[in-house]
């Protein structure tokens, strides 16, 4: 999952060098990392970079609540697997462009060799979740990037930021 709570109060705070694309892009946008390494630009995709299905954390949360609701319903027995996702792939360069637009910050990047084992495209088929749980992803790429940027802006040092200052910034933004 990617993004953050729309309030900017809750978000991902990886320590050290992030292993996932969105937190890494955020570190580049804030100047905490010099550039983003893009692994591979020769995949058979629309721009040559890897394509993945990114899901907003709030959509994932709603998916979990939908699954719990199903568990509490009548007639459910055993365990079932449900894929949650948008069903639409976003390339690395599309994510970079979207985050650049949301943050209005430069996102320098360098192409590197492909990583062993990476596939060109990977995205979910969430039709079972839609059919049986009534769940569909609702948040857009714009939402994912905007909410993550809000979190980063309000929490430049992650959860070590002073909570009272964070709440004051959020309140000032809302009013």
Among candidate residues 170, 149, 165, the one with its CA nearest the CA of residue 27: 149
State percent of the chain over pLDDT 70: 91
Whether residue 53 has pLDDT greater than 80: yes
Torsion angle defined by CA atoms of residues 128, 130, 135 and 138, in that order, rounded to the nearest 10 degrees: 120
Number of H helices, E strands in the chain: 6, 5
User: Cα separation of 94 and 9, whole Å?
Assistant: 26
> Residue 51: left if φ>0, alpha if ψ -120 to 50, beta else—which one?
beta
User: Cα separation of 156 and 105, whole Å?
Assistant: 14
The per-residue pLDDT for 35 is 98
8: which 2 tokens?
């900017």
150: which 2 tokens?
């809000």
Question: What does the pLDDT average to over 21-27?
Answer: 95
Question: What does the pLDDT average to over 153-174?
Answer: 71
Among candidate residues 172, 174, 166, 168, the one with its CA nearest the CA of residue 10: 166
Give the DSSP letter string of 103-162: HT----EEEEPPPTT--SEE----HHHHHHH-------HHHHHHHHHHHHHH-TTGGGS-
Sheet containing 90-91: give its strands across: 90-91, 51-52, 121-122
The per-residue pLDDT for 62 is 97
Confidence (pTM): 0.87
Per the document, the length of the chain is 175
Q: Given pLDDT bands bounded at 50, 70 and 90, which one contains residue 55?
A: very high
Question: What does the pLDDT average to over 72-86?
Answer: 85
Please count the CA atoms within 13 angstroms of the CA of 82 that sit on its side-chain side: 25
């Amino acid at each position: 999952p990617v993004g953050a709570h729309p309030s900017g109060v809750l978000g991902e705070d990886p320590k050290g060098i992030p292993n996932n694309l969105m937190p890494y892009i955020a570190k580049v946008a804030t100047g905490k990392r010099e550039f983003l390494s893009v692994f591979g630009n020769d995949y058979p995709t629309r721009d040559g970079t890897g394509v993945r299905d990114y899901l907003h954390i709030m959509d994932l949360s709603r998916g979990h609540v939908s699954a719990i609701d199903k568990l509490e319903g009548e007639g459910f027995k055993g365990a079932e697997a449900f894929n949650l996702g948008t069903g639409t792939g976003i390339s690395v360069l599309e994510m970079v462009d979207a985050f650049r637009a949301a943050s209005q910050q430069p996102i320098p990047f360098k192409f590197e060799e492909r990583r062993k084992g990476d596939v060109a495209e990977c995205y979910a088929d969430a039709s079972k979740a839609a059919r049986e749980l009534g769940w569909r992803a609702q948040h857009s790429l714009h939402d994912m990037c905007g909410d993550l940027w809000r979190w980063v802006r309000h929490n430049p040092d992650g959860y070590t930021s002073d909570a009272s200052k964070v709440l004051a910034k959020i309140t000032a933004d809302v009013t």
